[in-house]
């Protein structure tokens, strides 16, 4: 059974995502580059909001580590998105949109952004979260750090590498994307390695509760909307 990390897209992102994909799927002659850039930035911001900024709020602590990382990631990705997408034709964007299609899922009629999780990672999270729930968070601090490190690797692959692969970049743009990837991956790992050793039991409990709500399995999420009967 496939496992996912998935969150509900906010109203504006869901609307723009559905609109742009419908236009590209219909081979519209109306240029979509500007709206595609806007939607891609919203997409990126939503990932940063859910994985970093809302996590800070949920933990009930603010060290500044994740907030700083969020700022770096947002500025890095916004610059890159403008470079990669702003001059692309609808035909090129339609090819790139295969990535967005692969990330879009539905829970009922609500649009969700979903990435796959390896079974081993889902199980690792379940084991660590169970230990934290039992009050043994501090004894499992290293296991939490390892699980979050594995999640970062998966997130970089699913949110960045697969997005870039769908663009079929040339040498120069591939090099720019590679530099951005290094900044994102290195920064995320460094932030998590600095954050987790300083968390207390309650903060780890809050982290576990927060992350657990985004864990889904088939058939919870579908590739098409399913209206309520």
Residue 52 token pair: 């970093």
Quick check: 2 and 218 in contact, CB under 8 A? yes
pLDDT at site 1: 67
> Side by side, which strands form the sheet with 215-217?
104-107, 110-117, 3-8, 215-217
**Averaged over 38-50, what is the pLDDT?**
95
Q: What is the pLDDT of residues 180-227, one digit of tens each?
A: 999 999 999 999 999 999 999 999 999 999 999 999 988 889 999 988
Q: What is the pLDDT of residues 140-184, one digit of tens each?
A: 999 999 999 999 999 999 999 999 999 999 999 999 999 999 999
**Averaged over 114-137, what is the pLDDT?**
95
**Averaged over 74-80, what is the pLDDT?**
95
Q: Which residue has the tokens 């576990």?
A: 208
Residue 101 host element (H or E): helix 90-103
pTM of the model: 0.91
Contacts of 101 by beta carbon, 8 Å cutoff, 6+ apart: 21
């Amino acid at each position: 059974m496939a496992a996912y990390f998935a969150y509900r897209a906010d109203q504006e992102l869901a609307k723009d995502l559905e609109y742009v994909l419908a236009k590209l799927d219909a081979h519209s002659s109306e240029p979509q580059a500007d709206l595609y850039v806007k939607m891609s930035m919203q997409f990126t911001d939503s990932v940063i909001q859910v994985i970093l900024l809302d996590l800070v709020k949920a933990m009930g602590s603010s060290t500044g580590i994740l907030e700083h990382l969020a700022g770096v990631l947002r500025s890095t990705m916004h610059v890159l998105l403008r470079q990669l997408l702003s001059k692309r034709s609808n035909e090129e964007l339609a090819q790139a949109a295969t990535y967005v299609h692969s990330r879009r899922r539905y829970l009922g009629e609500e649009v969700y952004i979903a990435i796959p999780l390896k079974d081993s990672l889902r199980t690792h999270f379940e084991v660590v979260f169970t230990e934290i729930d039992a009050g043994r968070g501090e004894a499992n601090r290293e296991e939490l750090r390892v699980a979050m490190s594995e999640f970062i690797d998966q997130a970089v692959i699913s949110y960045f590498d697969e997005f870039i692969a769908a663009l079929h970049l040339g040498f120069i743009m591939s090099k720019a994307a590679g530099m951005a990837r290094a900044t994102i991956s290195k920064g995320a790992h460094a932030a998590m390695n600095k954050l987790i050793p300083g968390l207390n039991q309650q903060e780890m409990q809050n982290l576990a509760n927060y992350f657990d709500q985004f864990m889904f399995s088939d058939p919870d999420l579908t590739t098409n909307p399913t209206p309520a009967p």
